[in-house]
Structure 1
Amino acid sequence: MNRRHFIERLSLGSGGLMASSALAFPLSGQAASFSKASGQEYTADVVIAGGGLGGCAAALAALRNQQTVILTEETDWIGGQVTQQGVPPDEHDWIETHGATRLYREFRTSVRRYYQQFYPLTEAAKSRTYFNPGDGTVSKICHEPKVALAVLEQMLNPYLSSRQLRILLNYKVTAADVKGDEVKALKAIHRPTGTTIVLTAPYFVDATELGDLLPLTRTEFVTGAESRKETNELHAPEKADPNNVQAFTMCMALDYIPGSTFVIDKPKEYSFWSNYTPKFTPAWSGKLLDLSYSNPKTLVPKALGFHPEGIATGDKLNLWNYRRIINKANFKAGFFPGDITLVNWPQNDYTLGNLIGASEKDFTHHVNRAKQLSLSLLYWLQTEAPRPDGGAGWAGLRLREDIMGTEDGLAKYPYIRESRRIKAAFTIREEHVGAEQRAQVTGKKETLAAPFKDSVGVGYYHIDLHPSTAQNNYIDFGSLPFQIPLGALIPQRVRNLLPANKNIGTTHITNGCYRLHPVEWSIGEAVGMLVAFARQKQVIPRAVYEKSSLLEEFQKTVRSQGIETQWPA
């Protein structure tokens, strides 16, 4: 097909957010390793849509294996969850030594090194082997989004200089040219200007947050919750609901300056959100804007604490410390006037709309309402939240627009927990990774999830589903350290499109443990290597999955490049 005709024939898709500022990377000049048939077409060995952790990891893996890469990102920050969405890493207890790829641990080490090189740390902080900038309780390395961005840029910059990589920021893929079982090209629009380009490659990777390429490329997919009859999962609902997906969140960054006043204007939806009581099943603990929630594992009401000076709140979890990214005590006296935390709490999970498949109008509507929820939470904390001294409100809480890189102080993009999922050659179900159901299958208490002979990575997180658009309360239960099977990365039909985010072959239930930072990275890195391996062997990815000799060679290759495929016994 004539690519000019392709541009004219395909209509623009919808959805996504307008980028808020200029490009963080300028578009590089024409590279010797790229072909450019016209002023609006670019070609590489692989086109990766989505610059989150999976997209970045896929790019780095392909690049180190001599592939040329085009990476698109619809905001002006790469990094996904850890940067544009404002979510410090959610990781497992063994992350410092095993259970993730070597490259992911290099990323984490580089984050620590960045602070050691550029920030005035105390001697005690410098001497800590596993330095945690914020000492947040959710992770061993709670850090600022912009530091993660700087580190990812450092990791990718050599390939930009060598012109092996092109990064297209503020670009959203809106259409695809598909022939039979193969994707031929994608069309992307530069959101600030409306300029369109065509991207061609032998391989395409969907690393978008919502699995946006799947409907555009006619790749078979599922959404929402499968029924128990379909999956035989203990925690699946009796009835399937494709619109039942987990909450998304518009995160924000706050610091606290005692004695100061930074109270924001009352949000226009404050009356609604301050009186809103979720109608979840089983029931929520009370009003959403309150220092309580449903214990995720038991669903009984549980009190929470809040003190923005990091002071212990008895036996209650201090929400301030949960995702704190700067503990001022780790830095020389006076450098930070107060701690900084990222707010991604039960109180600002948004369940009143589904972004998957939403029109641009509906997408914007729900994102704006989610922003109103987060701002209402801030205003409530500033003016009404109970204080230990018997007072109300913490006026010294300050919205940190600079931390999030936006004018409104909220994240550049929603924190997405669930997306479209490919209909895969193999689907991971609860019986493979859930501790309770695994014990039923094997007749004994297991310490590891089901072994997969096609494993191309490992990961761990408990199965954690937040309240959903169907008004289901938490679903949260134990899982086992698991493997990432290659079959879950292979679409049933389409030959040259691969997933590299939350869009792999999981169910609504098992997505709950495969959606976190290091697992997304591991998926992306395996996919980037799979593209390089398939091109080297001149086979399609499905052949690597189906032919034992190719599979064994590929697994040996990934292990040689620092990707673990098994957990130690």
Structure 2
Amino acid sequence: MHRRDFIRMLGAGATGLSVMPYVSGPYFQGTPHTETDIVIFGGGAGGLCAGLQAARLGAEVVILEPSPWVGGMITAAGVSALDGNKHGAGGGLVHTFREELVAHYGSYDALETGWISLYNYEPHVGQAILDRWVSSEDNLTVLHGVAATGYERTAQHRRRISITPVDDCYLPANCQESERTLTCRIFIDATEYGDGLPLAGIPYRLGRESRDEYGEVPAPAEPDMHMQDLTYAATLVRDPEGTPLPVADTDRARWDFFACSTTADCENPDSDYLGHDVHSWERFITYAALPNDKYLLNWPHHANDYPVSEAFFEDPFYRKKQLRMAKQHTIQFLRYMQTELDHPEWQLATDEYPTEDHLPPIPYIRESRRMVNNSVMTLEDVVPTHDNPRAPIQPDAIAVGDYFIDHHHARHHLPPDCRLNEDYPDNAPFQVPASVFVPDIEDPCVLVGEKSIAVTHIVNGCTRLQPVVMLMGQALGVMAAHAVHDDCAPADVSTGRIQHDLIDAGCPLYIVYDITPDHDLFEPVQRLAQAGILRDDDPTELDPDAPLPASWAARWCDRADLSEAIAAPGADQPLRYNDVRAPLLNALNEDSDVVSRADFVAALHTVTNAE
């Protein structure tokens, strides 16, 4: 079936997006089965980027998104303040997204409204950007309001995916509306919860691993089911004429938990007893300030974080109930802000989301089911050795991140004798290897993304953030598109080929903060890192116009088997033009006596690329 006929059959419109919040009627009245190259279950930050990248490489892609919006964390969950991967660490679609935000708001300075992020924006603005991206891709179809509920192997390289309306997903299989199916070459689980893992028979875990399992010293002695809280975020707007939400005595009874969320209501601001510093109201309300006098309510201390358990992931009825309660918890905190803290001017924004309650369509899920394979990413993969400025190099790197190991647990704020204590070392800019996407099961048709990649509970704290998930999504898209083209298993796609395409797409595989994707040195730096010439002991900023230390030149030439190209000057001296020999000499610009870092990197790339 031709793709455009497929879209008409689904009643989804020319762009692949329904005009209504959910695909309904016409979808379930058409042909019950069709084929595509790639099915992505989940159109969140990672799933959408995977779909866009695969479509741009020629694959036909269908995204199944249960909610009315694509984007996941960055729009549909309302977490409209990008965490980490600043400057040159945020390339690819992350960079494009930030640039389009700048085009809307006028400057990067206009995005620095809150102190939690350099990139703050209104969710509906982000959603409009993503909608434009989707509508521009003829090979990409997004179906809203549906979920994958079945996974069947029909041939060695073919999988049949059953699709059900989201409301029916809570019913027993024999009570669900008649399913429709898609047959695909590659199935990607990019859901917020890891709901595709049990469908495809992929081993997974929830909670924390034991200390002995992966040698992570800060892990607990025994495995347990502690996992990060979810948050039902809210977008607020300042209205000087605002009035408080109605408050009953039963509401006030729930507010004890909120005490010490700020100094405005805290009898004992002892950080040792509380487990966190207590911030002022001003500090709180500027934390995630958004443009146009709005605010992202996603405060980590005694506020709207909401604990989850194993049943939340495994029992759909329980999940639905808990999500209702998480919403109520956020509304209770808003009542507390308006009444107890005496700030009725902060109201729910009514112009952000396509929901009746004006809350985001989905919650912010920090931790989900996590795949278990033989290449689980552990603490030693994100913590630097010796005094290096980076974590150890991953030869098969396909994405980068730099956020600290950030875990949200309401249990952190219990009294000291019953508190959940987690004390982790400082991590550093890190690389994500391609192996975290690939299950060990004998299935050449499935990949895993979002927060369900093969990482430990600890490492999830730094791989779960929006930019790194988006970059991982692009890598998934490249891997899946090549697997389709070559009719092979994703694991058999050459890592070098994936890395090459990602660099061409402006995705950094090695963080150098002052070399952004639009910089002339972006490709030279990335290719030199790919070749193993730039490593974990090299700086995270290049300062391109500065003189190059001779010790750097000698180290890099040694790694490139060009040690004869550099004379042996003092290690602390700047490299001079007269110290350089062929073949590097011919590639340098003789603009001054001292060689700049930019000129040397460009010359080294030219020479090593030619060889």
Runs of at least 5 residues in structure 1 that lack an aligned partner in the other structure:
1-20, 31-35, 116-125, 279-284, 307-312, 329-338, 386-392, 545-549
What is the Cα deviation at residue 352 of structure 1?
A: 5.4
**Pair 1:369–1:295, CA change in 2 (3 A):** farther
- Could you list the per-position Cα deviations for residues 40-62 of structure 1 after superposition, in whole angstroms to 9, with x for gaps in the alignment? 22321100110111011001110
What is the Cα deviation at residue 67 of structure 1?
A: 0.4
**Pair 1:58–1:395, CA change in 2 (3 A):** same
| Alignment correspondent of 2:429 | 481
What is the Cα deviation at residue 213 of structure 1?
A: 0.4
**Pair 1:305–1:292, CA change in 2 (3 A):** farther
1:37 and 1:68 map into 2 onto residues whose CA distance is 22
- 8 Å contact 2:121–2:290 — kept in the other structure? yes
1:224 and 1:365 map into 2 onto residues whose CA distance is 21
| Alignment correspondent of 1:449 | 391
Helix, strand or coil for the counterpart of 1:143?
A: coil
- Could you list the per-position Cα deviations for residues 338-358 of structure 1 after superposition, in whole angstroms to 9, with x for gaps in the alignment? x11010112111115456424
**Pair 1:320–1:182, CA change in 2 (3 A):** farther
What is the Cα deviation at residue 293 of structure 1?
A: 11
Runs of at least 5 residues in structure 2 that lack an aligned partner in the other structure:
1-17, 169-176, 413-418, 513-537, 539-611
- 8 Å contact 1:247–1:417 — kept in the other structure? yes
Helix, strand or coil for the counterpart of 1:403?
A: coil
Select 1:209's aligned residue among 170, 188, 192.
Answer: 192
**Pair 1:235–1:166, CA change in 2 (3 A):** same
Select 1:370's aligned residue among 314, 326, 330.
Answer: 326
The correspondence of residues 142-221 of structure 1 with structure 2, limited to 5 A, is 142-159=120-137, 162=138, 164-178=139-153, 184-191=159-166, 194=177, 196-221=179-204
Are 1:419 and 2:342 counterparts? no
Select 1:467's aligned residue among 397, 409, 425.
Answer: 409
1:43 and 1:520 map into 2 onto residues whose CA distance is 27
What is the Cα deviation at residue 191 of structure 1?
A: 3.0
- Could you list the per-position Cα deviations for residues 458-500 of structure 1 after superposition, in whole angstroms to 9, with x for gaps in the alignment? 1111001111679625656521101110111111113211112
- 8 Å contact 1:352–1:469 — kept in the other structure? no
Are 1:63 and 2:55 counterparts? yes
| Alignment correspondent of 2:79 | 87
- Could you list the per-position Cα deviations for residues 73-127 of structure 1 after superposition, in whole angstroms to 9, with x for gaps in the alignment? 10101110011111023333x622x113322201111122133xxxxxxxxxx4x
Helix, strand or coil for the counterpart of 2:133?
A: helix
**Bigger mean CA deviation after superposition, 525-534 or 187-196:** 187-196
**Pair 1:488–1:406, CA change in 2 (3 A):** same
Helix, strand or coil for the counterpart of 2:52?
A: helix
| Alignment correspondent of 1:522 | 471
Are 1:265 and 2:246 counterparts? yes
What is the Cα deviation at residue 174 of structure 1?
A: 1.9
Select 1:499's aligned residue among 445, 448, 451.
Answer: 448
Are 1:540 and 2:489 counterparts? yes
- Could you list the per-position Cα deviations for residues 420-444 of structure 1 after superposition, in whole angstroms to 9, with x for gaps in the alignment? 111234111101113xxx43xxxx2
| Alignment correspondent of 1:139 | 117
- 8 Å contact 2:151–2:162 — kept in the other structure? yes
Helix, strand or coil for the counterpart of 1:84?
A: coil
**Paired residue type of 1:465:** H
- 8 Å contact 1:188–1:198 — kept in the other structure? yes
1:293 and 1:561 map into 2 onto residues whose CA distance is 52
1:487 and 1:380 map into 2 onto residues whose CA distance is 46
- 8 Å contact 2:190–2:450 — kept in the other structure? yes
Greater relative contact order structure (CA < 8 Å, 6+ sep) = 1
Helix, strand or coil for the counterpart of 1:556?
A: helix
| Alignment correspondent of 1:564 | 508
| Alignment correspondent of 1:252 | 234
1:415 and 1:105 map into 2 onto residues whose CA distance is 22
Are 1:72 and 2:64 counterparts? yes
**Bigger mean CA deviation after superposition, 210-219 or 176-185:** 176-185
What is the Cα deviation at residue 296 of structure 1?
A: 10
**Pair 1:404–1:295, CA change in 2 (3 A):** farther
- 8 Å contact 2:159–2:185 — kept in the other structure? yes
The correspondence of residues 305-454 of structure 1 with structure 2, limited to 5 A, is 305-306=280-281, 313=282, 318-326=283-291, 328=292, 339-346=293-300, 347-351=303-307, 353-354=309-310, 356-385=312-341, 393-434=342-383, 438-439=384-385, 444-454=386-396
Select 2:255's aligned residue among 274, 284, 293.
Answer: 274
| Alignment correspondent of 2:89 | 99
**Pair 1:139–1:396, CA change in 2 (3 A):** same
**Pair 1:355–1:251, CA change in 2 (3 A):** farther
What is the Cα deviation at residue 23 of structure 1?
A: 2.9
What is the Cα deviation at residue 379 of structure 1?
A: 0.8
What is the Cα deviation at residue 271 of structure 1?
A: 3.9
**Paired residue type of 1:375:** I
**Pair 1:559–1:294, CA change in 2 (3 A):** farther
**Pair 1:229–1:28, CA change in 2 (3 A):** same
1:532 and 1:48 map into 2 onto residues whose CA distance is 12
**Bigger mean CA deviation after superposition, 264-273 or 210-219:** 264-273
RMSD between aligned alpha carbons? 3.2
The structure with more helix, counted as a fraction of residues: 2
2:196 and 2:268 map into 1 onto residues whose CA distance is 36
TM-score for the superposition, normalised by structure 2: 0.72
2:156 and 2:487 map into 1 onto residues whose CA distance is 17
**Paired residue type of 2:86:** I
Bigger-Rg structure (1/2)? 2
Helix, strand or coil for the counterpart of 2:20?
A: coil
**Paired residue type of 1:364:** K
Are 1:236 and 2:219 counterparts? yes
**Pair 1:289–1:526, CA change in 2 (3 A):** farther
**Paired residue type of 2:229:** A
**Pair 1:265–1:148, CA change in 2 (3 A):** same
**Bigger mean CA deviation after superposition, 53-62 or 184-193:** 184-193
Count of matched residue positions in the alignment of Structure 1 and Structure 2: 479
What is the Cα deviation at residue 141 of structure 1?
A: 1.6
1:564 and 1:108 map into 2 onto residues whose CA distance is 15
- 8 Å contact 2:218–2:424 — kept in the other structure? no
2:148 and 2:217 map into 1 onto residues whose CA distance is 37
**Bigger mean CA deviation after superposition, 297-306 or 348-357:** 297-306
- 8 Å contact 2:305–2:410 — kept in the other structure? no
- 8 Å contact 2:157–2:185 — kept in the other structure? no
**Bigger mean CA deviation after superposition, 220-229 or 297-306:** 297-306
